[in-house]
Every structure is written in structure tokens, then in C-alpha cells.
Structure 1
Amino acid sequence: MAGYVDKVGQDIARWEARGLVSAALGQQLRDDVAANHGKGIGFGQVLAVMAALLMSAAILILIAANWEEIPRLGRVGAIFAVIAGGYLGGAFLKLRDHAALAEALWLISAAAFGGGIALIGQMYHLSGDETQAILVWCVGTALAAALLRSPVLAAAAVCLSAAWASWPVFSFDLEVNAWYPLLLAVLWAVAVWTRSLPARHLIVLSLIAHFFMLYFDTELLVIPAAMALVSALAFVVAVRGGDIVDRLSGLGEGLAAEALIGFLVGMFTLQVVFVDEAHFAWLAALTFAAIAGALVIGGKAGRKVRWLAYLGFAVEISFVYIATVGTMLGTAGFFLLAAIGLGVLAFVIIRIERRIAASAAIQGAA
């Protein structure tokens, strides 16, 4: 963040020297940047959250070790003391304008809550499986996030929801939980209430992963097809919708990037299904055309969109090579076509990047 402030200061000084802005306006810009400098994520805040994660891991490992020498009431009391102390201490620090340390303590309390669920289940042999415990942990963390308006706890709740939904998969049971989108809708409301941008991005990515796994559970081709279509429409809306869509979603350029991810996942899934059939050729052509269209209409949406499009093109051309070499295309012929395609793409990328840079320069001068 400090590097950003220094860079902006250098830019303002250059603008003043060239007469683009007055000295008074330049000072106002410096004051505004300095006033909002503390609102970003600093290195100290990152360290505080990392320390909280390490402390959380230590608590969970200590509970998993099963304290045989400590009485049951002592164990439960210790867990509740950590939970209460973390939440109350975090609230105190929040009131003292130490937001990063407050979030760290709240994260420790949320971890202790999950450890307490496991500990009480072990001690009293309560019925239920791991997924139920993770769901209770997720709901408790989401409730704490809503009450405390904690963006970090909101993101943690989304991560726990993903663990709850994917636990059967890790247990070699591909049955996908049909209630997961409803849980994500509730967590989206929590993320909006807590103004947690990471939580909202995690929710969108979790939804893409859910429908991807849902296809492997049901083998219904309509799922990846619908995912590609809906994602393409979302991409167009994100690029052309302007400030209205940005205010409604709160995702910024991330909405277009995540829509592009959803489209590529859906199209790649369809191509894997039809890899040995005639449909593969037009699916590949449609994917190439969509990537080019994303660069043309969404190139100005941000670097994330452009680099995802470049990555998608590279993955697609590699996939086409693997699928077609030795069949309808020889190795030499493929590399010739690939070289031509890459050359055209390089030309288009250079033109797009130059046009974006020129447009930004004109807007800055204005």
C-alpha cells in the first residue's frame, strides 16, 4: 500500500510539472490518498490474520490430541473461555480502532467454536457425522459474522460451507448436496451485510465448482451447457452494465472474470464429453470465438479478464492438440495452424493493449 501511495505521489508531481493539474489540486489529491491509506490491507494486518490462523490450527490440534488428563468440565470450560474471550476481546479492540487485531481474535474464536463441537461430540458420544458438525460450525460462524459485521468471518463461513458441500466428495462419495446453493444465498446476504468482497468472490467460485461437480453426479449435459450460457450472459451484463451492475453485485471487474471462468469450465466440460464426436469441432470453434469476443468487448474490463482469456486460449489450443493430433490433424499441420493462430492472437493482444493504454492516457489528460 505504501508503494501505491508513493507511486501516486510521483504521478501527481509529474502532472503538476506538466501543468495538467494545479498545485492546489495536487495537494488535495495527496491529502485524499493519505486519508484513505489506512483503509487498505497492510502488511501488519496480513500478519495478524496469519497469526490467528496459526493459533486456530494450534487449538484444533490440541483438541484433536484428546485431553485425557483434564476433566471434562475443564475442557469444555477452556473452550468456552477461548470463544468468549476472543469475541469480547475482538469487540474491545474494534472499538479502539484496531480492526485487524479484532478480526484475528474473532477468527480464533470461530476456530475454537469448531473445535468445541468436535470435543463435545467426542466426550459425550453424540450421534451425527462430520458433515453435520461442519454445517453447525459454518452456521455459527456466519451468525457471528453477521452480528459483528466481520468480513473475515464471512469469508471463513464461505470456506466452511465449501468444506461441508465437498466433504462427501473427499469421502469418495460423489453425491452432491442439492441444498448448497440455498446456503450460498444466505451467505451472500451475510457477505453483503458485512461488506466482505472476498466472501462474495468465494461464493461465486463455489457456485461454479458446485455445478461442475453436479454434472459428474448426474451426467446431465444440460448442466454444463446452462453454465456456459448463463456465464456468457453474465459476462456481457458485467461488461456492458456499467455502474448499476457494479453496485448490485459489488464484485467490480471480478464479476466479468468469474463469468469467464464459468463459461470456460462449462465449455471445456462439454468438449471432454464430445471429444470423440463431430460436435467437438464446433464446440472448440465456439470456444475460440467466445474467447476472442471476450477480449474485444471485455478487454477494458481489467487485466484479470484479459489474462484469463489468454490462459483460456492457451488451454483450449493445447486441448485441441491433444484431442486431434494423430487423427484429423498431423503433428506438423497442427503446429503450423497453432503458429498462425498464436501470431494472430499476439497481433490482436498487442492492438488491444495499445488501445486500452491510449484510451487511459486520453482520459487522464481530460
Structure 2
Amino acid sequence: MIIGFTLCKHIARWQRDGLIDEATAERLRKDIAGHGVSFGLGNVLAILGAILLGAALLSLIAANWEAMPRLVRVGLIFAVLWCGYLGGAWRASRGDKVFSEALYLIAAIGFGAGIAFVGQMYHLSGDMASAALWWTGGTVIAGLLLRSPTLVSTSIVIAGIYLAASVEPDNTSRLTYVWLVPVFSVMAAGLIWYVKADVARHFLAVLLLVFVCVVHFDLDASTILWLALATGLGLFLADALRSPVLDDLTGWSIGLGAYGFLAAHMVLMIFQFDDHGFGRTREVTIGFAILALAIAGLALSGHRNLAIRWSAYAIFCVEVLYLAFETIGTMIGTAGFFLTVGVLVLLLAVFVIRMERRLQKKSLLKSVAP
């Protein structure tokens, strides 16, 4: 909504300055109205309200759980599920895309709580990871049948809960997450494509980044880091050099390039801080590799991929300051260190300002090119 309002202001200014005529301005306004932002403040508030309402219902049930007969307990769980799923389907059939998703979310929360309550009631054996796995599976099936983007995103979040629970020492099947999470990710990618759950793509990308870190630190495995580095660089370069091809294949070239860029930097930073036995030389060497990759991101994709551009700025500035602290900061006093950092920050500001001008000029030339 905010983006659409800003674009309308720009259209009015272009029309006032004589850059476009009235007919073109009206067509642009109609196009914005027809392709408005579907995930606005109202959606966020509806989802937040659904989470709070679901938590309130579960708290009320849990507080009176022991006083209820078993049949009433099971009936309440099914009532929450059916009211959420059927109510959401009814609202969706009426064209309501906000409160239908909120009702679906309440049902998904109720399903997870139902697993815990039934397990406690009948003293079923199991652990948190197993419960989260069943919760994920049920939510995936519901998302598939109802074609709900919110349920797809929720299933990925629950898969993250499963991943966190899987590394607990008392988990009976600790290492199953090593293959279950990749299998789930492939299924989730297909579900995202089928349901057109655009927001869920970000949740899945974050889940995979967390998965790489968990596998490395839990199993002390460097192989997955090299695999993530190669995959990240491949996605970044594919977006930078062959963006139309990647977009035709996936429909999400900019996002894949940005997450690939972040994955490559994440791996390099893990290599930089993971083992200090090689001394400061290794940290500085990898630090220069991080800076080189950040500059490559600005040079290749900064003019068209804002996520890469601002990520590269942040990584470049933080890494420069870190290298300054590691090399210069240990050799000079406090006053000298602050003086050095102050000068570096000013130089970084000059670098960012000049780079912004160059990238904006390059982006403008690309947009007006025939």
C-alpha cells in the first residue's frame, strides 16, 4: 500500500512536469490498482490477531484441561480444527483473502496443540521433534488441499521448530533432520510454486541457511559449507549474468541471487571465525575475500538488485571495521583507534555515496535503453 501510494505521487509529479500525458498517467494508476500489494498492514494485523486468538483459546483449554472429560477435550480440539479450516474455506469462497488465511492459521495452531494435548492425555511416547514433524506434515497437507499461502509459510516455520528440536541431546532420532529437511525443502518448493506462496519463498531460504549452520556446528562437517558456498556463488552469478534465464526457470531471479549472495558470505564468515588456530593471517585473507565478493556484488548486480546492493554495503562496512580492529586496533591506543575508525567511517561514507551515484546512473541508463 505504501509503495502504491508512493508510485502514485511519482506519477502525479511526472504528469505535472510534462514527462507523461493524462492517458498514460491514468493507465499507470489503473495498473497499480490492479496489481496492488497483497500483503499490507491489514494482512499483518489479521495474522497477528489470529496468532493471539489461537494462543488465547489454547491457554483457556489448557487451564481447564484436567477438569474436562476426555470426550470433551477431543471435541474441543476438533471444534477448533473444523471451525478454522471450514470457516476459512467459507470465507475464501466469498473472496475474502485476509480472514480466510487468519482462520486457517488458527486451525494450524490448534492442530499442533492438539498433538501435544492428545499425547499428554493418552501418555503417548515421543519427543518434541516427532510432534513437530507430525505438525509439519498435517499443515503441509492442509496447505495443499486449501491452496493457502499462509499454511505453506506456517509449515516452513514449524519445520524450523522441528530442526531446532532435532539437535536436542535427548532426541531419540537426532540425525534424521540431515535428510528430512532437504526432502521437505524440495516438497515445500513445489508447494510454493503450486500455491503461488511468494512470501513462503523467503521462509524457505532462511530455513536452508539455518540448516547449513546447524549441520556444520552440530556434526562439525565442513562439506556442507563448501556445498553451500558453491551453490550460493552459482545462484549469485546466475542472477548477475543470466538473470532472464534464471527468471524464466524459477520466476524469482532477484531473490535467488540475493540469498545466494548472503549464503556465500555466511560461509566465508564461518570460515573466518570458526577456527582461530591458523592465526590472524587466515582471518585477514578471508576478510579480503569477503570484501572482494561484496564489491563484485555491487559491480555485477548492485544497479538492479537492491537486496544485494544494501547487503553488500553492510557487509563491506562491517568487514572493513573488523579488519581495522584486528590489525590496527591492537597496535595503537584507544584515542588512535577511535581516530582511525572515524576516518574509515568517513571514507566508507564517501565510497557509498559515490557508488550510489554510479549505480543509480547505470540503472537509469538500463531503463531508458531500447
Alpha carbons 1:224, 1:266 under 8 Å: kept = yes
Which residue does the alignment assign to 1:67?
Answer: 65
Query: Larger relative contact order (C-alpha < 8 A, sep ≥ 6)?
Result: 1
Cα deviation for residue 334 of structure 1 reads: 6.7
Q: Name 1:275's counterpart in structure 2.
A: 276
Q: TM-score, normalised by structure 1?
A: 0.89
Match of 2:212 in 1: 211
Q: How many angstroms does 1:217 deviate by? A: 2.0
2:146 aligns with 148
Hey, what's the Cα distance between the residues in 1 that align with 2:107 and 2:123? 23
What does residue 113 of structure 1 align with? 111
How far apart are residue 345 of structure 1 and its match? 4.0
Q: Match for 2:301: what amino acid? A: G
Q: CA deviation at 1:153?
A: 0.6
Which of the residues 42, 47, 55 maps onto 2:45? 47
Q: What code does the residue aligned with 1:118 have?
A: A
Report if aligned partners of 1:63, 1:115 keep a CA contact under 8 Å in 2. no
- Say if 2:27 is the partner of 1:25: no
Determine if contact 2:143/2:149 at 8 Å carries over to the other structure. Answer: yes
Question: Who is 2:257 aligned against?
Answer: 256
Cα deviation code 1:210-266 (max 9, x no counterpart)? 111211122233333332332122211122222331343343532222222211211
Residues 62 and 130 of structure 1, relative CA distance in 2, 3 Å threshold: farther
User: Are residues 171 and 155 of structure 1, via their aligned partners in 2, closer, same or farther at CA, if it must alter by over 3 Å?
Assistant: farther
Partner residue in 2 for 1:305:
308
More displaced 10-residue stretch of structure 1: 134-143 or 189-198: 189-198
Cα shift readout 1:31-73 (whole Å, capped 9, x = no counterpart): 2222333x52232222211111111212333344351221111
In the alignment, is residue 355 of structure 1 matched against residue 350 of structure 2? no
Q: 2:121, 2:170 → 1: CA distance?
A: 28
1:188-207 equivalence runs, <5 A = 188-207=189-208
- The structure-2 alpha-carbon separation of the partners of 1:229 and 1:341, relative to structure 1 and needing over 3 Å to count, comes to farther
Give the alignment partner of residue 123 of structure 1, picking from 121, 124, 133. Answer: 121
Query: Once the 2 structures are TM-superposed, how far is the Cα of residue 337 of structure 1 from its aligned partner?
Result: 6.8
Instruction: Note closer, same or farther for the CA distance 1:220–1:338 as it changes in structure 2 (3 Å cut).
Output: farther
Q: Structure 1: how far apart are the matches of 2:307 and 2:170?
A: 34
User: Alpha carbons of 1:252 and 1:57: their partners in 2 closer, same or farther (altered >3 Å)?
Assistant: farther
Cα distance, 1:314 vs. partner? Answer: 3.1
Does 28-37 or 57-66 show the bigger shift? Answer: 57-66
Runs (5+) with no aligned partner, structure 1 = none
Q: Is the Cα contact below 8 Å between 2:116 and 2:131 reproduced in 1? A: yes
State the percentage of identical aligned residues.
34
CA contact (8 A) 2:303 2:363 kept: no
Decide whether the 8 Å contact of 1:294 with 1:309 is kept in 2: yes
Contact kept? 1:197, 1:251, Cα under 8 Å:
no
Cα contact 2:80–2:110 (8 A) shared by 1: yes
1:113-148 per-residue CA deviation (whole Å, 9 max, x = no partner) reads 111111111111112212111100111001111111
Cα 1:142–1:239 shift into 2, 3 Å: same
Q: Residue deviations 1:146-180, cap 9 Å, x none? A: 11111111000000001001114466889552121
Q: 1:247 to 1:336 in 2, by over 3 A?
A: farther
Classify 1:363/1:319 alpha carbon distance in 2 versus 1 (closer, same or farther; 3 Å): closer
2:82 corresponds, among 73, 84, 88, to: 84
Secondary structure at 1:117 match in 2: helix
SS of match in other structure, 1:89: helix
Matched AA of 2:247: D
The answer to whether the Cα contact below 8 Å between 1:5 and 1:33 also exists between their aligned partners in 2 is yes
Q: For structure 2, list consecutive stretches of 5 or more residues without a partner in the other structure.
A: none
Q: How does 1:218-233 map to 2 (within 5 A)?
A: 218-233=219-234
- Aligned-partner Cα distance in 2 for 1:365–1:23: 21
* Correspondence 1:293 to 2:292: no
1:238 maps onto 2:216 in alignment:
no
When the two structures are superposed, what TM-score results if normalisation uses the length of structure 2?
0.88
| Letter in structure 2 aligned against 1:350 | I
Partner of 2:10 in structure 1? Answer: 11
What amino acid maps onto 1:235 in structure 2?
A: F
Query: What RMSD over aligned residues (CA atoms) do the two structures have, in Å?
Result: 2.7
Structure 2 counterpart of 1:178: 178
Q: Aligned residue pairs: how many?
A: 363
The verdict on how the C-alpha distance between 1:200 and 1:352 changes in structure 2, with shifts beyond 3 A counting, is same
Indicate conservation of the 8 Å contact 1:256/1:301, yes or no. no
Q: 1:240 to 1:340 in 2, by over 3 A?
A: farther
